[in-house]
Amino acid sequence: MKLNAVIAGVGMTRFMKYPDKGLKELGAEATRAALADAGLELADLEGAFVGNCAAGLVTGQESIRGQVVLDSMGVGKIPIVNVENACASGSTAFVQASVMVSAGLHDVVLALGVEKLSHPDKSKSFAAFAGAMDVDELKQMMEDLAKAAAESAREGKGGGAGQSRSMFMDVYASAARAHMEKWGTTREQFAMVSAKNSLHGSLNPNAQFHEVLSVEDVLADREIVYPLTRSMCSPIGDGAAAAVILSERKARELGVEKPVRIATTVMHSGYNHAEDEPDTVQLSSAEAFEEAGLGPDDLDLAEVHDASAPAEIIAYEQIGLCKPGEGGRLVEEGVTRLGGRLPVNTSGGLLRKGHPVGASGLAQVVEISNQLRGRAGKRQVEGARRGLAQNGGGKKGNDAAAMVVTILES
């Protein structure tokens, strides 16, 4: 659909583990930063969509998460809609806020993603990830993943899914092994993604990790499940990200400087597709490009859902940044590095910026918005005018359960 909405302001916390901060503190920090960026006050908000995935399992807060967070800042009365959609919760909140403004129902809407994922008992955090799959199929899936991991790797590396690690790492590892077998993609190329994103993350004050890693460092790190080492897996963390979305008329009325235009934001749900049918990333990307009247060659940068290093390479191909099987070569040739033809995950991506799941999609929006407004500091992409964000969540059958692709323009 054609949108009539712009981003007037963005804000986020640094992503990391906050043992002494909860949803209220994190959400307030990101919200206040976004409003200040837009030159607005809390009283100007006419509605809010609040994305969160795991609070019910990790903190026990269910049902009214958005109301609890916003009431702590004195925000009430306005419609507050809670959005839970696995790792795509924040980007889904962004979709809903953009559509609400475009429909003419409100002029000023907050999209907030906030997550408290770290917990002294890691089994709670891992349970939150497991809940993003069909629980009726979970036991069989875990058995299949463990068997596949054990058969493909060294003896003893198959167990631990959902216990010592998120079982999504087993899902990503399985996809990585399939990509290696079909296309000849190498473990070194996966490591290049992590090394690249570590450089980008070192330049981002809001990133969880600032250490620059070499390809050798990544490969030498502790193995999680073959072919993934720890540095190839996104970390558990906490944080919040927010965007204030205005109608174009309201932005003109307020004299908002350098608003970011939402060219399109597209969402699809997964389905059990045949091997020759498009998956949710391909569906959402193709639709987004068509609605925006653009193609992959028109992009200046992208933020993709690199919950694992192989996922970034596979995303290159799904979005259409290169042909199938050429994703490894794209990163090897430096195309997706800062200074390359199409920098990807200039924020450091989920791998280095961090992945507090309900906030991750909106953090992508924050990064691209700052890039398009020339405010990304040492990681600024020169002349950036258009950027794409791809954020998925959950798993159902052979696809992601939810997928959002957004294209923003300066």
> Which two structure tokens, joined as six digits, stand for 308?
């694992």
Q: Half-sphere exposure of residue 240, counting CA atoms within 13 Å on the CB side? A: 30
Q: Tell me, yes or no, if 355 is annotated catalytic.
A: yes
> In this model, does residue 158 exceed pLDDT 50?
no
pLDDT of residue 326: 98
Tell me the average pLDDT across 377-392: 98
- CATH 3.90.550.10 for domain 6-120+237-262: no
Q: What percentage of residues in the chain have a pLDDT greater than 70? A: 93
Q: What is the DSSP string of 136-190?
A: TTHHHHHHHHHHHHHHHSSTT-S--BTTTB-HHHHHHHHHHHHHHHHH---HHHH
Three-state secondary-structure class, residue 399:
strand
**Which is more confidently placed, 276 or 38?**
38
> Which two structure tokens, joined as six digits, stand for 243?
């965007």
- Among 47-61, 118-132, 158-172, the range scoring the smallest mean pLDDT is 158-172
Give the count of beta carbons closer than 10 Å to the beta carbon of residue 214.
14
> Which two structure tokens, joined as six digits, stand for 375?
């405010």
Q: Which listed residue (87, 119, 200, 233) is catalytic? A: 87
Q: How confident is the model at residue 410 (pLDDT cuts 50, 70, 90)?
A: very high
Phi, psi (5° rounding) for residue 318? -65, -40
pLDDT of residue 121: 83
Tell me the average pLDDT across 313-331: 98
Which CATH number applies to 184-231+264-409? Answer: 3.40.47.10
What's the pLDDT tens digit per position in 191-224? Answer: 999 999 999 999 999 999 999 999 999 999 999 9
What's the pLDDT tens digit per position in 50-91? Answer: 999 999 999 999 999 999 999 999 999 999 999 999 999 999
> In this model, does residue 270 exceed pLDDT 80?
yes
> In this model, does residue 2 exceed pLDDT 90?
no
Q: What percentage of residues in the chain have a pLDDT greater than 90? A: 83
Would you state the torsion angle of the CA atoms of residues 30, 406, 384, 31, taken in this order, to the nearest 10 degrees?
-10
Cβ proximity of 117 and 58 under 8 Å: yes
> In this model, does residue 157 exceed pLDDT 50?
no
- Going by C-alpha positions, the residue among 402, 268, 388, 259 that lies closest to residue 336 is 388
pLDDT of residue 155: 37
Question: Sign of the CA dihedral 78, 262, 345, 128?
Answer: positive
Tell me the average pLDDT across 283-311: 98
Tell me the average pLDDT across 373-389: 98
Q: Which listed residue (106, 200, 268, 355) is catalytic? A: 355
Cα distance from N-terminal residue to C-terminal residue, the chain? 19
Q: How confident is the model at residue 156 (pLDDT cuts 50, 70, 90)?
A: very low
Neighbouring-strand partners of residue 7:
245, 260
- The domains of the chain are located at 6-120+237-262, 184-231+264-409
CA distance 371 to 359: 19
pLDDT of residue 126: 75
Q: Tell me, yes or no, if 322 is annotated catalytic.
A: no
pLDDT of residue 196: 98
- Among 131-135, 210-214, 375-379, the range scoring the smallest mean pLDDT is 131-135
Q: Do domains 6-120+237-262 and 184-231+264-409 have the same CATH topology?
A: yes
What's the pLDDT tens digit per position in 244-263? Answer: 999 999 999 999 989 999 99
**Which is more confidently placed, 181 or 143?**
181
- Among 142-156, 215-229, 256-270, 356-370, the range scoring the smallest mean pLDDT is 142-156
Edge-first strand listing for the sheet containing 47-51: 80-83, 47-51, 108-116, 238-246, 6-12, 260-269, 399-409, 386-396, 301-303
